Amino acid sequence: MKFQDYQFDPKVKRGLSELGFKRPTDIQFKSIPNILRGEDLFAIAQTGTGKTAAFAIPVVDIILRAKSTGRRSSGVYALVMVPTHELAEQINGVFEDISKFTSIKSVALLGGVDQDPQIEQLNNGVDIVITTPGRMFDLISQGHLRTSHIEILILDEADYMLDLGFIKDIKDIIFKLPKRRQTLFFSATLTDKIKKIAYKIVRQNAIRIQISPKDPVSKNVDHSVLYVDMDHKRFYLEKVVLENPETKILAFVRTKVRAERVSKAMERVNIHSLTIHGDKDQNERTQVLNEFRNGKTNLLIATDVTARGIDIPDISIVINYDLPVDPENYVHRIGRTGRAKRRGHAYSFCAETEKDILVEIQSFLDAEIAEIKLDKIDVKDILNIGLDRTHDYMALIKEDKEEEEKWKKKKRKKRKK
């Protein structure tokens, strides 16, 4: 079935055509009819399968038809809650693209930036609000965001939001919304704990859609693991960058301090990189993502602040420089590549101290991750990269060891609790 075969408003079809959307993905094909019928929905699908468009397309069509019949003239119709600023901006971009030829307006409300331009947009009238919880409640309490007419609530990256402790925020906003509303949950992973919470929020007859639940990793991603000494990881990263000079590479590390140290190590060997983490303000994070997206810099070193939802289609390689402590984040990290119909590659650098984490990840996937085995000659070649720079790296290696000890102590304390 093609998008042109749906009974969408012609203006919506025109927007989809300009975006090059011809046929729906599996999650879109199964979600759109249910959303158009007003059903509550719980949708789980792999990263990169088009989940955002799965709710954005029908929501735009629903609002457009409501406005054209005079049933709705003003007020926020749909509220989309997300865990990160970057995801809010990205989803807003999708809504803007789909509704390009319509009168529908959307806005991204997020903290870390001046709220006055956002207030001005709300005062001028918007139909769709995409927001993080903090800024949303600030604007509600100030009377700038009115929720009494909202008819659709969407939680994107729902499992992450609930697991991060946003459950109180979600319950609070639900009390401020009309009882007769439509609730949509979208995510790539689902735990029993989150499932139990989620089903208390949606209606009892909510539709559940699950695409490839046994394999949360996209079939477009080839992922493998490489056993690497902790002190040698930077040499392996350097080799990957040098062998792929025109390729966008996203490397995930455990902490914001480590992100800056790895970036510093790359700079020492004349490899320019960008970093993104929670210590950067919103303007800095936006600038970094734009520079990476535009290809001005092809290596981005990030913490898990970018593991969820960020859609930069031409990331070809994802590297787990450090393995994620939470197994679910493995899926979201490597889902930054292999998006839509593109092929992607993901490599995990696993040190001796991370083998227990690897076991947990493989248990979560219910599958072993393929191992890349290097012979002695390959390893020697990689390590020879740094022979002339041994002195430069010694201080960084010492710092990494100290940080590794701190991290292991925190992990032991967490297990005792």
Bigger pLDDT: 145 vs 283? 145
- pLDDT at position 318: 95
Average pLDDT over all residues of the chain: 85
Q: Are residues 57 and 156 in the same domain?
A: yes
Lowest mean pLDDT among 40-54, 109-123, 201-215, 383-397: 383-397
Query: Between these two residues, 224 and 376, which has the higher pLDDT value?
Result: 224
Alpha-carbon separation of residue 61 from 2, 18, 170 (angstroms):
16, 16, 25
Closest CA to 252 of 213, 308, 206: 308
- Of 184, 210, 236, which residue constitutes the final position of a domain? 210
337 and 246, same domain (yes or no) = yes
- Looking at the structure, tell me whether residues 150 and 114 fall in a common domain: yes
Examine residue 216 and state whether it is found in any structural domain, yes or no: no
More confident residue, 168 or 124: 124
Read off φ and ψ for residue 154, nearest 5 degrees.
-125, 130
pLDDT greater at residue 260 or residue 194: 260
pLDDT of residue 307: 63
Same domain, 376 and 245: yes
Whether residue 129 lies inside any domain: the answer is yes
- For residue 352, being part of any structural domain is answered with yes
Which residue did the predictor score with more confidence, 393 or 359?
359
Q: Which pair of structure tokens corresponds to residue 70? A: 């005079």
| pTM of the predicted protein model | 0.75
Q: How confident is the model at residue 393 (pLDDT cuts 50, 70, 90)?
A: very low
- Least confident range from 236-245, 293-302, 364-373, 390-399: namely 390-399
Tell me which of 189, 210, 231 is where a domain ends. Answer: 210
pLDDT reading at 64 higher than 90: yes
Same domain, 98 and 153: yes
What is the total count of domains within the chain?
2
Domain that holds residue 92: 3-210
Given pLDDT bands bounded at 50, 70 and 90, which one contains residue 60? very high
* pLDDT for residue 390 is more than 50: no
Shared domain check, 379 and 303: yes
Asked if residue 151 is part of any domain, the answer here is yes
| Angstrom distance (rounded) from CA 284 to CA 271 | 20
Could you tell me if 166 and 23 are in contact, meaning their C-beta atoms sit under 8 angstroms apart?
Answer: no
Confidence of residue 391 (pLDDT cuts 50, 70, 90): very low
45 and 154 assigned to the same domain: yes
Total residues belonging to the chain: 417
Residues 95 and 181 in one domain: yes
Could you say which of 168, 188, 210 is where a domain stops? 210
Percent of all residues in the chain with a pLDDT value above 90, rounded to a whole number: 48
Q: What is the CATH number of the domain that holds 75?
A: 3.40.50.300
Lowest-confidence range among 19-23, 107-111, 371-375? Answer: 371-375
pLDDT at 271 over 90: yes
In a domain, 215, yes or no: no
Closest-CA residue to 159 (of 319, 309, 57, 324):
309
| pLDDT, position 227 | 93
Same domain for 60 and 193, yes or no, is: yes
Q: Specify if 143 maps to a domain.
A: yes
Least confident stretch, 112-126, 215-229, 289-303: 215-229
pLDDT at 205: 81
